[in-house]
Structure 1
Amino acid sequence: MKTFYFTATGNSLAVAKEIGGELYSIPQVVKHSQTKFSADKIGLVFPCYYMGTPQIVRNFIEQVELESDYIFAVMTYGNFSASGVHHFQRLAAKEGLQLDYTNELLMIDNYLPLYDITAELAKEDSKNIKENLTNLVNDIKQERKSLLKQKWWERLITFFSYKFYQFKRGAADKKFSVTEDCTSCKVCEQVCPVDNITVKEKPDYHHHCEECMACINLCPENAIKHSKEQGDKRFKNKNVKLKEIIQSNR
């Protein structure tokens, strides 16, 4: 089994590790030339962005050929997805990628302009993450075939929300700022999945941002701010190490 993942603060990587198989970082695959992959099972794990699919995951499925008798996709989300994985199902179908199983997993939301991390962590137990993940992993082991459906009003929400994402995505870093606490450690540069940051004395943003919030959430000094952030608390999945995210995205 091969499991491809895109992660910013560790949620999707934690899920991919639990699912198992050979793990492949989607940003790393996109940056390199390998385009054909085959296995008895192939899976994709990635977060929900604006009720839909992150651009880097779209780039991935447009670039690669996946050959398997069983292909699954899991979308992680923090509060409301509007069954965003259905958006990925439609994109996959356009690329000739036949999915056998799709699901979503409710986790901690790290989108700082909308959610306070302290409040999000307080809700962690109520989200039943471990139990739901176990059920999801069992589905994949048993090769269950099931595709999530999307209600008409969810599809409408996804359409407009995702249009907004496509419009603002690259320039999203213009709302980031760096304080004097910055030590030029380059963690932000190393965790950025799209090479959008260069650090000399301070981070310099190049305005092709994926808006994944990795640079803000993972800064050791909490020196990067978002103009609309809801609090100072930052997030990294407790089951993933910083060096794993660096290895995934550098």
Structure 2
Amino acid sequence: MKIFYFTATGNSLDIAKRFGGELYSIPKILKGDKFDFEDEKIGIIFPCYDAAVPNIVREFIKKVTLKSPYIFVIMTYGNFTLGGINWFVKFAQENNIHIQYADKLLMIDNYLPVFDMEKEKLKSKNINENFNRLLKDINQNKHYINNGSFLDSMATSTIQSMFKIFPNFNSVKKFFVGNDCNGCGTCSKVCPRDNITISKNVDKSKPVYGQNCEFCLACINLCPQKAIKLNREKNSNARFMNENVTLKEIIAAND
């Protein structure tokens, strides 16, 4: 079994590890030269962004050829996915990838502009119980697509249209680096887009952002000094990394 995953703060990597099999980082696949994969079972695991799918996962789907009689998808999310699962299944089909099983898994929400991480961590979300249900389904090769409701699909379409109209809504213009930055380079190492370079200033090194941002917020959540901030954070001091994943693993997945 091959598992392809995209992770920023560890949630999707945590779930990918639980399934076992061969793990493949989506950002690393896109940086490589092998795009044809085949196995008796293939999984794709990624977080929900903007009620749909991260751009980097869309690029992956457009580029790869996946051959398997059973392809499953798990979308990790913190509070809502709306029609994101159904949206992805249709998108994959348009790119000649046919999904047999697609469902979502509720986890800790780390979208700093909206949710307070300290309060999120206290919520009981039954992650283990819900994962075991998904694992049982997939081990039994169950066919199932979580389509959601018509209103969910409409909401996702509306949100996606909004981001096309306002492409800078989620952009590096929202970030700023404080004086606590010590130039360690962690932000650059965890960025899945290679969008951050460490510039030598007169007195110290600081991150400089390009324009190819996934807005995954890994650089903010994983900064050891909490020096990178977002100008519309719910709680500017709260940060998140999945407790079952190490910083080293995230760097290995995205660097």
Q: TM-score, normalised by structure 2?
A: 0.95
**For residue 162 of structure 1, what is the aligned residue in structure 2?**
160
**For residue 220 of structure 1, what is the aligned residue in structure 2?**
224
Does structure 2 retain, via aligned residues, the 8 Å contact 1:169–1:210? no
Classify 1:171/1:205 alpha carbon distance in 2 versus 1 (closer, same or farther; 3 Å).
Answer: farther
3-state SS, counterpart of residue 17 of structure 1: helix
1:84 CA displacement: 1.1
**For residue 245 of structure 1, what is the aligned residue in structure 2?**
250
Q: How many positions carry a matched residue from both structures?
A: 248
State the one-letter code of the partner of 2:179.
E
Relative to structure 2, which stretch is displaced further, 199-208 or 40-49? Answer: 199-208
RMSD: 1.2
State the one-letter code of the partner of 1:65.
T
3-state SS, counterpart of residue 248 of structure 1: helix
Cα distance in 2 for residues equivalent to 1:169 and 1:135? 38
**For residue 202 of structure 2, what is the aligned residue in structure 1?**
none
Q: 2:127 aligns with which of 126, 129, 132?
A: 129
1:165 CA displacement: 3.5
Does structure 1 retain, via aligned residues, the 8 Å contact 2:163–2:169? no
- Stretches of structure 1 that go unaligned for 5 or more consecutive residues are none
Cα distance in 2 for residues equivalent to 1:140 and 1:70? 9
- Percentage of pairs with the same residue: 48
Classify 1:211/1:146 alpha carbon distance in 2 versus 1 (closer, same or farther; 3 Å).
Answer: same
State the one-letter code of the partner of 1:140.
I
User: C-alpha deviations, 1:27-52, integer Å up to 9, x for none?
Assistant: 00011110100011000000001110
1:196 CA displacement: 0.8
Q: 2:215 aligns with which of 211, 216, 221?
A: 211
Does structure 2 retain, via aligned residues, the 8 Å contact 1:169–1:209? no
**For residue 146 of structure 2, what is the aligned residue in structure 1?**
148
Does structure 1 retain, via aligned residues, the 8 Å contact 2:83–2:155? no
1:170 CA displacement: 8.8
Cα distance in 2 for residues equivalent to 1:239 and 1:97? 30
3-state SS, counterpart of residue 204 of structure 1: strand
Cα distance in 2 for residues equivalent to 1:2 and 1:170? 35
1:162 CA displacement: 1.8
3-state SS, counterpart of residue 240 of structure 2: coil
3-state SS, counterpart of residue 88 of structure 2: helix
Does structure 2 retain, via aligned residues, the 8 Å contact 1:170–1:209? no
Cα distance in 1 for residues equivalent to 2:4 and 2:161? 25
1:214 CA displacement: 0.2
Cα distance in 1 for residues equivalent to 2:194 and 2:26? 14
Q: TM-score, normalised by structure 1?
A: 0.97
**For residue 181 of structure 1, what is the aligned residue in structure 2?**
180
Query: Structure 1 residue 4 and structure 2 residue 4: aligned?
Result: yes
Cα distance in 2 for residues equivalent to 1:191 and 1:168? 23
1:163 CA displacement: 2.5
1:138 CA displacement: 1.4
State the one-letter code of the partner of 1:208.
N
Q: What stretches of structure 1 move > 6 A for 4+ residues in a row?
A: none
**For residue 93 of structure 1, what is the aligned residue in structure 2?**
93
Cα distance in 2 for residues equivalent to 1:7 and 1:163? 24
Cα distance in 2 for residues equivalent to 1:136 and 1:171? 31
Structure 2 matches for 1:29-178, cutoff 5 A?
29-123=29-123, 126-166=124-164, 167-168=166-167, 172-178=171-177
1:168 CA displacement: 2.5
User: C-alpha deviations, 1:59-117, integer Å up to 9, x for none?
Assistant: 00100000011100000000011141111101001011111000100000000000010
Does structure 1 retain, via aligned residues, the 8 Å contact 2:83–2:154? no
State the one-letter code of the partner of 1:202.
K
State the one-letter code of the partner of 2:214.
E
Cα distance in 2 for residues equivalent to 1:243 and 1:163? 36
1:169 CA displacement: 5.9
Relative to structure 2, which stretch is displaced further, 79-88 or 156-165? Answer: 156-165
Cα distance in 1 for residues equivalent to 2:169 and 2:113? 16
